[in-house]
Amino acid sequence: MATNEERAKYQRAFAESATRPVIVDHVHVDGLTFTNPETVTYASKAVFEAKTVAEALQAASASAVELQRLGIFKSIEVTVDAAPYQPPPQVHDPSSPQHIEVTFNVTESSRLAASSGTLIGNAEVDWETNATLRNALFGRAEKLSLNYAVGMRNKAAYMLDYIQPISGDPDRFIHSSSAHQRRPRSLHSQLGLPVMVYIACNTRLLNIPFRASMLVREQAGHSLLSSIKHVLTHDTRNDTHLATQGKLVEWTQEFAGIGGDAKFIKSHVQAQFNQAFFNENLIVSASLWGGLLSMLGGTESRISDRFFLGGPNSLRGFTVRGAGPHDKGAYLGGDAYVAGAAHVYSTMPFKFLRDTFGRSLLLHGFASAGNITQIAPDQFVVPRLLSLFQPGSMRYSVGAGVVFRSGMARLELNYCVPFSAAGTDNFRAGFQVGLGVSFL
């Protein structure tokens, strides 16, 4: 650790040399193998404008930031050094400019990136896979990405994106995008057609903050879930995102314990009823969700298997998973939960608004309530389930806003007013944006 005196010395030395005039002779970019050199010219040319040491350092780090923004480099190191060629020294003239050169030592990122993931939430499983080519076609920082998503709720979508920065400027680019969406209406739509899914996944809690709750920390590490899931759906709705007619009843059961670490039966029910009035200008909708995780063999449930409550598609007015059992900033989830909501949707009030938005933008009002609890292995299930309905521990929210329905998802903006007896819940009165395909 430098003492104050030393620090002052360095600062003085820097202040003296900072105003020293310089001429930038060269800017090198080392480490380009498949990137077109023209791509980096734009970001690095500002360095030549520098007149003093301080300006050169500033310009060099600003250029490094611009280069980083192209998204094609894993790392960028900047070196500012005296140029190899120096004119004869004029020893007694400190104002004669020093010739310097700036080197950017870059490491290029891999050109192909592929990812695949499963998003599980709100009784919804989306499988998404993505392949991205960066800088691979022309070496001009272009990005081509193909995204394919399949959801359990009858959606499949492709999206192809192409982004081309113009002459290496990360702020100016051509972006073209094409999307295609498929909507098979078969698999889940009849009562009595069971759908079985086998799930095997290696669960690990990653990136736990250093000061995380020890309850969360103790659950870190590898564990293997091996389960069979059965989904029974009766869906007569005319639209999955904002139906005017019909109902949905879905019963999901998951049995884990054929090998693997976790042994449980997890049941989830979801019901939704929709009815339109006044020539479909007013829609009334009611939803009910409930879940129970029963552990087998007296073990305690794991965070990754539990239910969570809260979020713009669940209990509105709360942050995502922001309601329920809690320890030091971490929401631990519950073994049983129940949530219900009543919605009223109406078309826009004025004719010109109705003509503009039609039925894709609707006014929305809702009232919702929910509760979640943990069940310890030695506790009886029924009293714990009844405790969910105690008014004192319930979480409520009411709100109003607008809902925009597009083909792929629904987007809602609501002003929410939540109430909760539990001070540890994360909720706030205010606007909340929700985007989703499954919602309470």
* Choice from 17, 109, 223, 267 touching another protein (CB under 8 A): 223
Q: Which residues of 102-138 are buried (b: 16+ CB within 10 A; e: fewer)?
A: bbbebebeeeeeeeeeeeeebbbbbeeeeebbbbeee
Q: Identify which of residues 223 and 244 has a Cβ nearer to another protein in the complex.
A: 223
* Choice from 65, 137, 187, 214 touching another protein (CB under 8 A): 214
Q: Name the phi and psi angles at 90, rounded to 5.
A: -105, 90
Q: Shortest Cβ distance from residue 223 to another protein (Å)?
A: 7
- Which residues are CB-contacts of 418 (< 8 A; sequence separation ≥ 6)? 315, 316, 317, 318, 395, 396, 397, 427, 428, 429
- Which residues are CB-contacts of 241 (< 8 A; sequence separation ≥ 6)? 405, 409, 410, 437
Q: Report the C-alpha gap between 70 and 144 in whole angstroms.
A: 14
Instruction: Name the one range near another protein by CB under 8 A: 151-159, 220-228, 344-352, 428-436.
Output: 220-228
Coarse DSSP helix, strand, coil percentages of the chain, rounded to the nearest 5 percent? 15, 50, 35
Instruction: Name the one range near another protein by CB under 8 A: 5-13, 245-253, 257-265, 417-425.
Output: 257-265
Q: Shortest Cβ distance from residue 143 to another protein (Å)?
A: 33
- The site for another protein, by CB under 8 A, has a size of 18
* Choice from 260, 346, 393, 413 touching another protein (CB under 8 A): 260
- The tokens describing 229, both together, are 């899931």
329 scored as a contact of another protein (CB under 8 A):
no
Q: Identify which of residues 226 and 346 has a Cβ nearer to another protein in the complex.
A: 226
299 scored as a contact of another protein (CB under 8 A):
no
How do beta strands 282-295 and 336-346 pair?
A: antiparallel
Contact 436, 408 (CB under 8 A): no
Contact 191, 167 (CB under 8 A): no
303 scored as a contact of another protein (CB under 8 A):
no
Q: Identify which of residues 275 and 304 has a Cβ nearer to another protein in the complex.
A: 304
217 scored as a contact of another protein (CB under 8 A):
yes
Q: Identify which of residues 9 and 204 has a Cβ nearer to another protein in the complex.
A: 204
Interface positions with another protein (CB under 8 A): 202, 204-205, 208, 210-211, 214, 217-218, 220-224, 226, 259-261
